[in-house]
Amino acid sequence: MTDCQMVSSDFTADEKMEIENIKSHKKDLLEDIQKLKMEIDNVMAEILSFESAEENKIIEKSKRSSNGKKKFNMDPKKGINYLVENKLLDGSAQSIAEFLYKEEGLNKTAIGEFLGEREELHLQTLKAFVELHEFSDLNLVQALRQFLWSFRLPGEAQKIDRMMEAFATRYCDCNTQVFQSTDTCYILSFAIIMLNTSLHNPNVKDKTTLERFISMNRGINNGGNLPDDLLSKLYESIRNEPFKIPEDDGNDLTHTFFNPDREGWLLKLGGRVKTWKRRWFILTDNCLYYFEFTTDKEPRGIIPLENLCVREVPYPRNHTVWSCTTPTVEGRRSKRVKRRQTAGLWRGSTSPTPSVLPVQRRETPGSRPSERVSPRIHSTTWSQSVRRR
């Protein structure tokens, strides 16, 4: 007889029943624990799935936002329309103004172009944009520095006039005791901008003196004179430090190529002269942009990748070459490449010669390293040697 049997025989019938009940309860608890583990695993899977879906939404929203900024920098109206259509802006003047004021990576010339238009939405956006600036306790030059850094003034006099009028109204709202009217602020603001040009433009030989600046602004304060001390401080501020004007000129496409999908060196077959040339390629927004050097601001050409046909082209010396073309009627092929005609202007052109990109050579035994060419590329994939930013 074993020890367990001896111990078991010592229990009474009630004790044995209690032990069986405990064993049964333990079994039920273990089953419940297992069920809870399975439920926890299911909940965790749902949480991970939800987090993944949310992360994908955030990534997709970020991508649409990036595309919207690129489109805005190229064409402000089309960019805003894209952002509204993709529900990144609600289309109100306030939401557009906050986008222009707060968003990073926007071309400041494009901002000025949008704010300068006469349509009602643009006028309301200008008003909301100016009201986002806080000018309280700033002298006029300090306020102008802040305002003129937030965008680039357009060239048209009427647009500048509307913008400076909106600025003067906002400045007087923030500083009610400085000027007797917004007209005074408006006139003096223009005088300060002219003073900045006079003092810091090397082409201006006759520099405005302090005495002349004070004399020019006599009687502008509702017929009265502004304090000489105020005008002297404004003059000295401009003489010591000119306005910092945003340097982008509306033709800078740098933001378009920010954070591309892919980038790297490839060889490209010339159009008229059939020679392979090394070019820096950037893939973004379903377009291939190619440059002569990585430091170039504007591309030598653009190859749109929409409705693209990719085919292998026979080529000597065991190279693999892909032709990226757009099919046209009757089987003819055309290459649509936009080339710069003048600064910032692009034109579509067609040619019966397809755009041919060289790809990695199919190496054969005995091939020399010097025969290797550029990395493999086809419609959507790049080789390891094309680095990702």
The one-letter amino acid code at 90 reads D
Kindly tell me the sign of the dihedral angle through the C-alpha atoms of 182, 183, 186, 192. negative
Would residue 131 show up in a list of annotated catalytic residues for this protein? no
- CB neighbours of 271 closer than 8 A, spacing ≥ 6? 335, 337, 351, 353
User: Position of tokens 């749902």?
Assistant: 46
Q: Which two tokens stand for residue 113?
A: 């172009």
Q: Is 353 helix (H, G, I), strand (E, B) or coil?
A: coil
Residue of 31, 60, 156, 211 marked catalytic: 156
Q: Which alpha helices (H) appear in the chain, and where do they start and end?
A: 3-9, 13-74, 76-85, 93-102, 108-115, 120-131, 140-149, 157-174, 182-200, 210-216, 228-240
Residues 58, 64, 70: CA angle, nearest 5 degrees: 135
Query: What phi, psi does 250 have (nearest 5°)?
Result: 85, -15
Reference 67, options 299, 297, 250, 260; nearest CA is 260
Q: Which two tokens stand for residue 32?
A: 């419940």
- Residue 116 to residue 123: CA distance in whole angstroms: 8
Residues with a catalytic annotation lie at 156
